[in-house]
């Protein structure tokens, strides 16, 4: 049996996981000297590169001193918590990365809780020790306190610590050591990570932890072998979560090394491989010996907490900017997403309408952003939380929210969150003029707060949240305070009109932008909606007036990204998404129908 170590890298978003994996790949000699390697090579998706976040967990393998080390890079964002949870079952230990300045953050708690409950003994890596504000000793104490809070065992509390600066490619076991590379970290992995238990002699037990899809070979399950061996062309039995058994042949067996995948003939206990040949393979399924199938426990996956409606674009500008506009195409694309993304699901809820359920706004935004880049055109409604009835009581998801912000803004933010039914549980001075606030808040209260929060803290606040539990419904939550400026004419926006409308609120459009009846062109300064005409030009006359040649001064419009627009809209509005534009509109474009509906609601 080969000498193998299986390890996952877990951390809060932006603490340096992917950069560390890059350096491990480079320093283990996995890339040859002439190979041209991207930065953050594990973040292969375009959106991951732009945002600097990991969305999909990815695995790689390196060989170091004759030992095969399988490394899985996990997302740090709570919206992708489903990914992390599954990965932790596939490994024998974790590298817990913590920023030497920021210390323990909410998603760190979320992943640590999962890792400790599975019995892993983490290797704690204090990263970014070169930061001027870093305090590695304080952070080690914070990690110890966190483990103690989570009821860690004596053995888990005696965790190994490595200090590192992943960006500069060095690690050390004591802060006073001199070191140039990551050798101390490699050595710690070899000595502290347990070898896989199990044996090649036993019957096959393999469990799938993530999915991939290939147009030629169909669904691919990426899995770990817990017992036995598997070979290309072998007949094995697939055991589903509900106990259903399907016999099938392994049509392709794929191994990993660095960033490359290659076909292999056979693999044994402890290996992480990709298997093709099973159309119905899913996360948590087991492949077993057909003569004596002994499946592993299926995995529990956290359920979605947010839903959003995707619909065919029916605005007057529909079909002018996108390639794929029909409900069939949108349906196909959503079905393809669900092939590999297990934390989401969707259903058709009417002609050309689909309800997509996910773990958070970010996850749904990333799907929409990917779709628009592929040439799709569609409408999205306002995100809504998924409520459940438990023992006759209506319940909704609650989140644990952690905010770091300058001291002078704490009062305003506490007041703002109070109106959204948030309950403050902790307030800690962080030093250097910053305070950390912790809240428990209904997930509904977080919809649409990010932009307001950044404005209120002048861009200096940081907010993070992770799913807590379902609790009884907490009544009405305050939403947007301002109305919308709605276009009552179709055509092109004119500078003269926009100039005259600037006093009424914040504009979303600029001169020569196309507008249509019912499109939202700005935010009203008051709390009611206002119908306006952005296409009206200046009346010309043959009498020259004294102010005729005064230049009009336009304030730059607020540019609406997909995320901003989704946060901003109310229930009677939608976001029109095309490869070129993101427009906000009223669901009901006709102003007379809108007024009639508003009257009915008022008197009901």
Annotated binding residue 168: no
SS3 call for 336: helix
Strand order in the sheet with 67-73: 58-64, 67-73, 4-11, 93-99, 123-127, 161-165, 170-172
**For residues 306 and 443, is the Cβ–Cβ distance under 8 A?**
yes
Q: Parallel, antiparallel, or unpaired: how do β-strands 252-257 and 272-276 relate?
A: antiparallel
> For residue 387, what are its two tokens?
């409520």
If one counts every other C-beta atom within 10 angstroms of the C-beta of residue 289, the result is: 17
Task: Identify any residues that bridge with 435 across adjacent strands, giving them in sequence order.
Answer: 405, 429
Separation CA 534–CA 505 (nearest Å): 13
What H or E segment, with its residue span, contains residue 109?
helix 106-117
Angle at 201 between CA 197 and CA 205, to 5 degrees: 60
Length of the chain (residues): 604
Report the DSSP pairing between strands 205-214 and 286-288: antiparallel
Among the listed residues 281, 199, 267, the one whose alpha carbon sits nearest the alpha carbon of residue 234: 267
Taking a C-beta distance cutoff of 8 angstroms, is the pair 223, 286 a contact?
no
Closest residue by Cα to residue 405 from 370, 369, 363, 439: 439
Task: Confirm or deny that 130 is annotated as ligand binding.
Answer: yes
Q: Residue 249 burial (CB < 10 Å; 0-12/13-18/19+)?
A: exposed
Classify residue 407 by its DSSP letter: G
Strand spans (E) along 264-387: 266-267, 272-276, 286-288, 306-312, 345-350, 353-358, 378-380, 384-385
Instruction: State yes or no: 381 annotated in a binding site.
Output: no
15 is known to lie in a ligand binding site? yes
Adjacent-strand bridge partners of 346:
356
Q: How far lies 97's CA from each of 165, 275, 304, 467, 589, in Å?
A: 11, 30, 27, 21, 50
Torsion of CA 84, 86, 88, 91, to 10 degrees: -130
Would the annotation count 180 as a binding residue?
Answer: no
Residues 42 and 54 sit within 8 Å (Cβ to Cβ): yes
Helix-strand-coil percent breakdown of the chain, rounded to 5?
A: 25, 30, 45
Rounded-to-integer distance, Cα 92 and Cα 114, Å: 13
Residue pointed to by tokens 């179709």: 490
Q: Is 17 annotated as a binding residue?
A: yes
Name the burial class of residue 556, with classes exposed (0-12), middle (13-18) and buried (19+) by CB atoms within 10 angstroms of its CB.
exposed
- Is 128 labelled a binding residue? yes
Residue 406: C-alpha distances to residues 262, 431, 433, 448 (Å): 51, 10, 6, 21
The angle at the Cα of 586, spanning 582 to 591, to the nearest 5 degrees, equals 140
Is 214 annotated as ligand-binding?
no
Token output for 172 = 């050390």
Take residue 562 and report the two structure tokens written for it. 């997909």
Binding residues: 14-19, 127-130
Binding residues for GTP: 14-19, 127-130
């Amino acid at each position: 049996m080969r000498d193998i170590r299986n390890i996952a890298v877990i951390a809060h978003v932006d603490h340096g996981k992917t950069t560390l994996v890059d350096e491990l790949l480079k320093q283990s000699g996995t890339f040859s000297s002439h190979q041209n390697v991207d930065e953050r090579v594990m973040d292969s998706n375009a959106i991951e590169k732009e945002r600097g976040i990991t969305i999909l967990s990815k695995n790689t393998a390196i060989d170091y001193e004759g030992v095969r080390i399988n490394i899985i890079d996990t997302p740090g964002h709570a919206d992708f918590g489903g990914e992390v949870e599954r990965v932790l079952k596939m490994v024998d230990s974790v590298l817990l990365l913590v920023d030497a300045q920021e210390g323990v953050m909410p998603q760190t708690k979320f992943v640590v809780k999962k890792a400790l409950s599975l019995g892993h003994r983490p290797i704690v890596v204090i990263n970014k020790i070169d930061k001027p504000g870093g305090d590695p000793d304080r952070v080690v104490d914070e990690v110890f306190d966190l483990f103690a809070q989570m009821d860690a065992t004596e053995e888990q509390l005696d965790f190994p610590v490595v200090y590192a600066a992943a960006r500069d490619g060095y690690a050390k076991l004591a802060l006073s050591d001199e070191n140039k590379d990551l050798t101390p970290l490699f050595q710690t992995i070899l000595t502290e990570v347990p070898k896989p238990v199990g044996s090649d002699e036993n019957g096959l037990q393999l469990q799938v932890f993530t999915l991939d899809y290939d147009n030629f070979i169909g669904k691919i399950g990426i899995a770990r072998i817990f017992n036995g061996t598997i070979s290309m062309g072998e007949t094995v039995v697939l055991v589903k979560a509900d106990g259903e058994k399907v016999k099938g042949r392994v049509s392709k067996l794929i191994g990993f090394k660095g960033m490359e995948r290659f076909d292999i003939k056979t693999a044994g206990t402890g290996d992480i491989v990709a298997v093709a040949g099973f159309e119905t393979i899913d996360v948590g399924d087991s492949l077993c010996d057909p003569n004596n199938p002994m499946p592993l426990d299926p995995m529990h996956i956290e359920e979605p907490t947010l839903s959003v409606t995707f619909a065919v674009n029916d605005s007057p500008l529909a079909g002018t900017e996108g390639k794929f506009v029909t409900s069939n195409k949108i349906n196909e694309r959503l079905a393809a997403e669900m092939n590999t993304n297990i934390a989401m699901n969707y259903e058709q809820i009417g002609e050309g309408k689909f309800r997509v359920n996910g773990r958070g706004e970010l996850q749904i935004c990333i799907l929409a952003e990917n779709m628009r880049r592929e040439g799709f055109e569609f409408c999205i409604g306002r995100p809504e939380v998924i409520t459940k009835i438990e023992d006759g009581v209506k319940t909704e998801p609650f989140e644990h929210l952690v905010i770091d912000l300058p001291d002078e803004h704490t009062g305003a933010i506490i007041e703002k969150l109070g109106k959204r039914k948030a309950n403050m549980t902790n307030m800690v001075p962080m030093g250097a003029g910053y305070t950390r606030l912790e809240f428990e808040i209904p997930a509904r209260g977080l919809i649409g707060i990010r932009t307001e929060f950044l404005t209120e803290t002048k861009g200096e606040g940081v907010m993070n949240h992770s799913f807590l539990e379902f609790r009884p419904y907490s009544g009405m939550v305050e939403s947007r305070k301002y109305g919308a400026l709605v276009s009552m004419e179709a055509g092109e926006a004119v500078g003269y009109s926009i100039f005259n409308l600037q006093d009424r609120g914040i504009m979303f459009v600029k001169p020569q932008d196309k507008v249509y009846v019912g499109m939202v062109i700005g935010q009203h300064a008051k709390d009611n909606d206002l119908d306006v005409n952005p296409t009206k030009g200046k009346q010309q006359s043959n009498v020259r007036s004294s102010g005729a040649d005064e230049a009009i001064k336009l304030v730059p419009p607020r540019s609406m990204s997909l995320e901003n627009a989704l946060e901003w809209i109310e229930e009677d509005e939608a976001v029109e998404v095309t490869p070129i534009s993101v427009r906000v509109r009223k669901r009901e474009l006709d102003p007379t129908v809108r007024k009639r509906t508003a009257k009915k609601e008022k008197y009901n």
